[in-house]
Amino acid sequence: MCNPIHNELDWIGLRCVSLHLTTVKDAKSPFRGYRFRVSLVAIFIIISLAFYQFEFVKFTKYEDEFYSKFVEIDTVMAQDPQSLLPCNVDSWNNVTLEDISFKDVRADWKNKSLGSWQNFEDAALRPISAFVYEHEIVVVTAKYIKFDKPLYCRYFDCNHVELHGTAFQSTMFPYSAVYCARRAGANHITVTRTIDEPVEFTVPIVNRVLSKPVHEISVCVGPIYGAESRWLEIVETTEHHILMGIQHFYFTVFNQVDTYTRRLLDDYEQSGNAKVTVIQTEYKHMDWMFHMMQITDCFFRARHHSKWILNVDIDERLVMTRMPLHSYLRTIPEDVGDISFSSKRVQRTENLPSIFTPEGFEREVLFTKYQKTNSMSYMEMKVLLRPDKTEGLFYHWVWARYPGFRTMMIPKTVGYVRHYRTTLPSLAANWVKSKLVTDNLRNNRLDARFEEKLMVAVVRRLKLVYEQRDMWCEEIPWWILRMMERSNYNCIWKVNGTRFA
């Protein structure tokens, strides 16, 4: 046992023994009786020490057992958010307003039963996102509550401390959105059913108080969900729209997407072409029934951030046939709030490839592989809209505009939306059996120059994202290779293809 106390006792014990020996050496001395007593005392001390030591051993055994069960408690000093430094409030956010804009107009729409939707009756009242504009804040939630029920906007500062006494009474409209009045210094927000119930969820408020939109045109891309790997549709549609002059994309993922597809989405975000929003709810599965949540989130996300948004799914591509998109929009009167396009469907009869293989890829892309197309129709309209001049985007059409704004239909000769729609089991997959479709199929494709440009753009992006290689051990300096146990290196010897092990 290496115990300082124990060692000290040993040391004292040895001193006592040497004292005893000294007394024995002086046996002839006249003080024999005295020496004998001293010896006895010494022996007594030695025995006591031995006994003590024995007890000590027993005690440490007991002590070990005691400490294995005993829990030491460390005091932890939590920070009370109330004691944090006061928030810095930028001047654009130092605004408190009494009410929201267009309240009467919205009341009229409510009266006409517009902008409502009912599903997921037992869902939690959970905010997904929130945006602050010049005249109000809008919170998008993952629930539908009829607009005759009161709801309360609850505001929090940069320290997540509620701004006391600032709650605002509102209702859910349109769809899953709630309009809230502005509050100076509000950085986080939520909505609750009563004015003072405990708050479970808050979301940050994204700044949309912008002097002018960041993007001229963006795409609100329909939700990405489910097991099928969608990377080919995503890359083709996105590169196609980039060639049309649209450079920003709002992607929405429900729950999660396969990691292969996610890499492509991450690349578009990294290259500054996209914002990926992931919507999570308490539901284990999210599917087409949540589509309106993506539309509502994207609509308010884009308001004042993009002047125009094209609202299409990942299998739909805007085709401009007479003049480029921006040139055409410059000819559109300022009082147009939304523009409807007709569409054509192209049959996609096979599954999408699961990974990118450069060999033979040019035959796999949808825009060369599939040509069976039905005739153009206004039955399925797609919309390009101004999110600051319209309200209540419902799937692919807008039902309301702010006073002074109107809708417009684009002639078929100017442009249309090309929809590479699957004929495999999917939503309303029986579309292809309709006589209207089968009687009117013809081979149709895009002009060769455009197809070539698109192919170059698609392959360039895919190579950037998916062409990966092993890490060679030869490219790592020897002194780094020696730093850790070998299992910590993921490299392969270039010379013989074996792992570093």
Q: Does 111 bind ligand NAG (CB under 6 A)?
A: yes
Residue written as token pair 């001193």: 15
Can you list the alpha helix ranges (DSSP code H) found in 75-142? 103-111
Q: Which is nearer to ligand NAG, 1 or 495 (CB)?
A: 495
CA atoms of 7 and 3, how far apart (whole Å): 6
Q: Which lies closer to ligand NAG via its Cβ, residue 95 or residue 459?
A: 95
CB 403 within 8 A of CB 112: no
Does residue 472 bind ligand NAG (CB under 6 A)? no
- Tell whether residue 487 is a contact of ligand NAG (CB under 6 A): no
Which run of H or E residues covers position 291? helix 291-302
Comparison of 99 and 108: residue with beta carbon closer to ligand NAG: 108
Closest by alpha carbon to 292, among 406, 123, 98?
Answer: 123
Structure token pair of residue 297: 């989130």
Q: Which is nearer to ligand NAG, 70 or 478 (by Cβ)?
A: 478
* Span interacting with ligand NAG, options 34-42, 69-77, 151-159, 491-499, rule CB under 6 A: 491-499
Span near ligand NAG by CB under 6 A; candidates 87-95, 210-218, 309-317, 416-424: 87-95
- Roughly what angle, to the nearest 10 degrees, separates helices 32-69 and 4-25? 170
Is 495 among the residues that bind ligand NAG (CB under 6 A)? yes
Stretch touching ligand NAG by CB under 6 A, among 102-110, 141-149, 340-348, 398-406: 102-110
Q: Is 120 left (phi over 0), alpha (psi -120 to 50) or beta?
A: left
Residues 12, 24, 107, 214: which binds ligand NAG (CB under 6 A)? Answer: 107
Among 79, 82, 91, 194, binds ligand NAG (CB under 6 A): 91
Of the pair 79, 496, the CB lying nearest ligand NAG is at 496
Measured distance CA(471)–CA(495) in Å, rounded: 12
Residue given tokens 């401390």 in the structure block: 161
Q: Which two tokens stand for residue 286?
A: 């999210």
Residue 113 as a binder of ligand NAG (CB under 6 A): the answer is: no
496 binds ligand NAG (CB under 6 A): yes
Considering only 38, 87, 89, 481, the residue that binds ligand NAG (CB under 6 A) is: 89
Binding residues for ligand NAG, how many (CB under 6 A)? 11
Strand, coil or helix: 266: helix
- Paired with 22 in beta bridges are none
HSE, CB side, 13 Å, CA atoms: give it for residue 116: 15
Q: Which is nearer to ligand NAG, 113 or 211 (CB)?
A: 113
Residue 476 contacts ligand NAG per CB under 6 A: no
If the CB atoms of residues 464 and 471 are measured against ligand NAG, the closer one turns out to be 471
Alpha-carbon distance values, 289 to 20, 49, 94, 122, 179 (Å): 96, 83, 39, 15, 23
Interacting residues with ligand NAG (CB under 6 A): 89, 91, 94, 104, 107-108, 111, 493, 495-496, 498
